[in-house]
Structure 1
């Protein structure tokens, strides 16, 4: 390995072909990164006292198989592609301006910039490019450098950043920019093939500062050690289709996918911050050799396609499953994804149909919703779903899922109808974390035409005002104060309206009769309110009981002939856990990054 400080233009100059290996991440600099670099270059270009501006390092090596392509050395970039790509985009913007203006900056012309820093003048095809990016960005950069129309599906980052530089480079500042670019310095690190370990050097270079995405680290670990032909085959056959499935969400969602995938495999929680190390040291250990690596990458690809449909249900072809997943997302819960990955794989293996998978998603929704309404602790949910798939041993997958849900111990229990009804009626529903999800499902129960409750506000039928009017005191009866305090925020006293300000604290009879009031309302939740002659404790509980019937039907408990028996060990564990929670001594796992259901 040799390292030396060199002028950026000197690094680019001469017969050279920088290639970004397929295992590297796509170009990812944002506009704010480009703006900072542009301003820094302009400032140093205008400051005669500044002799240089350090950009960072560019690490590359020339593998034996890539020692020469024609007469142009091909250098594989291990680190620094973001800086190189951005520099090429800025140089291209300067080249285009000079060509259009027809008046070169003193000492340089547009054609010199193109010949010395952007292209290999006497080569054709890809070898004519000074920098060749990966599949996602390559065609767009080539089109930009060659002044060709952009491809139909162009790289958003390459296109946006080039357009930014085009707008920023003007006849007034181009001379200062060129002066600044001549002061740009990098540390060029050249690795020796067969001597230096690119993977170890890559990891050490990215061990400080802002870490690379988990996707980058994992892709590099899997592909970097393979021979070029295997790299290309794995990337084209599995990895690139996986990237394409995630779309623009790839860089952020892939790390979350790997966390949930590894959690599913391990049956235990994996932290988002340790995904790469867990993957490398546990799941992929001994599997990146030539014979095992394709099976590993293929497994990741298949599960990634399941995960994309979990997180982006619009990509699921089965209409019922798509709707069920959309509901689960609107519930705002991520703890179930490790098990749902396992369930999707079971469906792909023929163990359960897509209709059965719909039922499983609906059972999970009911489980989460019932526990939330009952105010049960959320700290057990992550471990419950982490190990759920590994505990299914029966021959009938769907029946086994139902039985397992019903057979879990006390702290992890699936609340039965009686417990759910009692808590549903009695709890503070107005301050419930998922009150809009709750009210939306109640309003749309047995409706064919969906009502978006976002167009309405939550109305307290018995008003919130502590200084309740005499009319309302009379309405509520002799124990009005106790009734107001006990039932104000309960589900029986809550409804939806578009006339909240008009209703205000009016007496019940006026709320019913005014224009847009309960009698005039198209809202289903208001029909039972409009039918009551008086609004008091009896009316509130009557309505709450009716809505509880709806809720039990919307979120039913699974039905099986015989639930799985809970072992004595599980009972002891659950009882101890429940006691600790009740005593306030058990807190959610601090390593838990997954979203929990607000209660």
Structure 2
């Protein structure tokens, strides 16, 4: 085998084709991996535009084995390892080419297409420089050929859509040179090690050995080995007295994090966690030969490690004010605040600031994070802001003032009081951040009432409750009908209000409250120990006016809890984060789907009219044609930009796979709701239902509630549903139930091994609303249904049942079909369930 470091452009140039063998799994990169790659690309772009000498970014290796060569044909290479990187970059170039096309740069389009994506003078499959596995081939070639169905619901389509959105947002923020710099970085500044096998090598054995190499050394392991190699005389004592205690107290992961934070706090804010060893080695290299200097560096790292432990375990902090500030940030979760917190503790221990001053500085950090979450400010660049802080903070001011001034910088987007008030009234808070962060904000708001007998939140099992229910009974909609605007339905008003902060509270009685009328909820809330619940119980009704009034009261409390930026005025001329989110949502939509102006408004906390006006003024927004009226029709006011030669919107949507009836209405099953758009954006919309990990132990009371609700609401479907559940049990599964007023039902299978349970369930049955959800969203993270082809097969088998019509564009979501399907087609549904169990059993045998 031979190896060479090479740029991506040089790797792919020439008449060659990279073939992904059939034994490799399908393309699997998701949002996290794509984000990391794009952040690296953007950093290189910045360096390139600023004139800095940018060293190539090492992506990893690609292992290739020679394939068959035909006279006059392309040189074929089997991709033994590295197909994920190759596929990702090819999709990035396909998105770049299409971005250049929309910008009118036809020479750029031709250049990227011919240089990277295709073998220009070859036809058929030889035309493609990369040929993925058969399962990914159609999705990939659709992107390369810019077909209407490009950007589907599988991982290939999702990656293409990701890069389309990233390029569109970069164009908004950058200048004309930005796209050119992206092309340069992708071609010439991403470094790959090309490892080429010899002809006749056993390709499968190479693949097997590469992917079964055991646990490698961590970055901190490499650093430790390097440092102690330079300490031949003092090494043993330094290791026993300094390094080993630090390593034992922090553990491997936190030690590696400390070594990275040490670089950040020293001002190297561009240091990546994957390059800790190289950066620390570069810093320590001048001290080689000076054991006293190296020992001093380890002593300083050990002291910084003790400060880091105070961040991880605030109970170790002696100052009450600083301990409370650290505890709040620990409750908030995440590691974003670590660099600035560690820097502040350095200042405290060095006597350069007082603990109370550092505590106030951390309050501004907390406020910055909380306000951005409530206002749904995009998190892009958030980590970098905090990594820059130790170097950028002004040193001639008190720490708290320096932190507040730093975070108030124009491009750092600390929402003002005005923006906060607007967001509390309109944004779907229930979809913001992670569930613990939402609960934390509500908890802090409850504590602001300063009750004489505060609730012990550590012991109380509280969850977030919607006062106006998520699934409202007719009485709720009748109440809202009194407050609707012209041409607005009660359901549309409900959707705009239900997830806002003014409608949410904390309770331990979520199951009891459910979708009861407000009068019944009042009776339950009156006995609550929480002051915010007693305040809700005092209301005479619960509609739009009450929800908005409570939103304003909560904003007043939030402003006191979390002070805003210096100046505290909404920046003029700055685009609302909602429009950024709108563009991201439309790009995230798979081909073959549509949504409504109301759904988008609900997602971003706006109004359908405002959404229509924005898209009318910006028709070139990617996916603008996918936003239709609530009836599923093209809005009469929709226009392409002047001079555009694009197809009519309905023709374009039909080409993408959207079905229309004779009245010009798009098929309802292909509509993406606000919740589904939020899911595609990675928001935590649907929380998994808790399941009993044991096959036995079905809740008899819940089972009886489910059967009663089924008989009362869908009597014709009762026998078919119960027969299907009995069939499921005979196949080795069991049945679990939800804990809310509408008692949902889940046929669960434990396909676990000796390593632990492996729970999965194909559907959720709702006996009041009369729907059966197919939970592709959950199955996507459960083997073997993490493979797109397995989920697609489940969808196809269900669609053969009369009355089921699941769109392929929702393979990552939770599409549904009517419960009445069980009335006449129970046996066919059972055949699908039997197939599901069989696939799970084969996977279990493979993993055992």
TM-score w.r.t. structure 2 length?
0.40
Contact 1:242 1:301 in 2 (8 A): yes
Query: Are residue 465 (structure 1) and residue 471 (structure 2) matched?
Result: yes
2:285 maps to what in 1?
A: 285
Q: Which whole-Å CA distance do the structure 1 matches of 2:501 and 2:217 have between them?
A: 47
Structure 1 residues 158-169: aligned runs within 5 Å: none
Q: Which residue of 1 is the match for residue 525 of structure 2?
A: 518
Residue 557 (structure 1) aligned with residue 557 (structure 2) = no
Structure 1 contact 428–490 (Cα < 8 Å) conserved: yes
Compared CA separation, residues 222 and 352, structure 1 to 2 (3 A) = same
8 Å contact from structure 2 (residues 439, 506) kept in 1: no
Partner of residue 505, structure 1: 515
Cα distance in 1 between the residues matched to 2:285 and 2:583: 42
**Structure 1 gap segments, 5+ residues each:** 1-207, 588-595
Aligned counterparts of 2:312 and 2:420: Cα–Cα separation in 1: 29
Aligned pairs for 1:379-394 (under 5 A) are: 379-394=380-395
Q: How big is each residue's C-alpha offset from its partner over 1:199-235, in whole Å with a ceiling of 9 and x where there is no partner?
A: xxxxxxxxx752223333222211223233x223423
Residue deviations 1:535-570 (CA, integer Å, cap 9, x gap): 12111111111111111222112568x99xx9xxxx
Distance change in 2, residues 1:471/1:240 (3 Å)? closer
Task: Classify the secondary structure of the residue corresponding to 2:564.
Answer: coil
Q: What's the CA shift for 1:481?
A: 3.4
Give matches, 1:320-469, under 5 Å.
Answer: 320-398=321-399, 400-410=401-411, 412-433=412-433, 434-445=437-448, 446-447=450-451, 449-452=454-457, 455-466=461-472, 468-469=473-474
Pair 1:492-2:502 in alignment:
yes
SS of the aligned residue for 2:432 comes to coil
Q: In 1, Cα distance between the equivalents of 2:445 and 2:578?
A: 31
- Classify 1:455/1:476 alpha carbon distance in 2 versus 1 (closer, same or farther; 3 Å): farther
Taking the aligned partners of 1:580 and 1:474, their CA distance within structure 2 comes to 34
- Aligned equivalent of 1:225, options 216, 225, 230: 230
Task: Say if 1:321 and 1:357, in contact at 8 Å, map to a contact too.
Answer: yes
Deviation at 1:388, TM superposition (A): 1.0
**CA distance in 2 between partners of 1:366 and 1:478 (Å):** 34
What SS is found at the alignment partner of 1:506?
Answer: coil
Instruction: Tell me the SS of whatever aligns to 2:506.
Output: strand
List aligned pairs for 1:79-118, cutoff 5 A. none
Give the Å deviation of 1:273. Answer: 2.1
Shift of 1:286: 0.9
> Matched residues in 1 for 2:270 and 2:255: separation?
17
Q: Secondary structure at the match of 2:287?
A: coil
Q: Deviations over 1:380-403 (max 9, x none)?
A: 112211111111234223254245
Deviation of 1:262 after TM superposition, in Å, equals 1.3
1:71-220 aligned within 5 A? 209-220=214-225
CA distance in 2, matches of 1:486, 1:547: 18
Q: 1:406: Cα distance to partner?
A: 4.8
CA contact (8 A) 2:371 2:414 kept: yes
Note closer, same or farther for the CA distance 1:578–1:597 as it changes in structure 2 (3 Å cut).
closer
CA displacement, residues 436-485 of structure 1 (integer Å, 9 cap, x when unaligned): 1222212222346344285123222122225x323651365252334312
Specify whether residues 409 and 285 from structure 1 end up closer, same or farther in structure 2 by C-alpha distance, changes over 3 A only: farther
Query: Following superposition of structure 1 onto structure 2, how do residues 524-563 of structure 1 map, counting pairs within 5 Å?
Result: 524-557=531-564
For 1:134-180, what per-residue CA distance to the aligned partner results, in whole angstroms no more than 9, with x for missing partners? xxxxxxxxxxxxxxxxxxxxxxxxxxxxxxxxxxxxxxxxxxxxxxx
Go from structure 1 to structure 2 and tell me whether the alpha carbon gap of 1:342 and 1:474 turns closer, same or farther (over 3 Å shift).
Answer: closer
Q: Who is 2:479 aligned against?
A: 474
Matched position secondary structure for 1:267: coil
Partner of 1:393, secondary structure, is coil
Q: Which residue of 2 aligns with 1:200?
A: none
Match of 1:242 in 2: 246
CA-CA distance at 1:356 after TM superposition: 1.2
CA distance in 1, matches of 2:503, 2:242: 55
Cα deviation for residue 352 of structure 1 reads 0.9
Separation of aligned partners in 2, 1:329 and 1:597: 21
Q: Which runs of 5+ in 2 are unaligned?
A: 1-212, 485-489, 588-681, 686-848
Q: Tell me the residue number matched to 1:258.
A: 259
For 2:321 and 2:505, locate their aligned partners in 1 and report how far apart those are by CA, in whole Å: 29
What's the RMSD between the two structures over aligned residues?
3.4
Q: CA deviation at 1:370?
A: 0.8
Structure 1 residues 288 and 499, CA gap change in structure 2 (3 angstroms): same
Which residue of structure 2 aligns with residue 103 of structure 1? none
- Contact 1:287–1:296 (8 Å) recurs in 2: no
Whether the 8 Å contact between 1:443 and 1:523 is mirrored in structure 2 is yes
- Offset, 1:336: 2.1
Shift in Å at residue 408 of structure 1? 1.1
Q: Distance in 2 between matches of 1:520 and 1:476?
A: 30
Larger Rg: 1
Report how many residues are paired. Answer: 364
SS in 1 for 2:286: coil
TM-score under structure 1 length normalisation = 0.55
- Verify the 8 A CA contact 1:405 1:413 in the aligned structure 2: no
Q: Distance in 2 between matches of 1:395 and 1:389?
A: 14
Cα distance in 2, alignment partners of residues 407 and 521 from structure 1: 39
Query: Which of structures 1 and 2 has the larger relative contact order (alpha carbons within 8 angstroms, sep 6+)?
Result: 1
Measured after TM superposition, the shift of residue 435 of structure 1 is: 1.5
SS at match of 1:284: helix
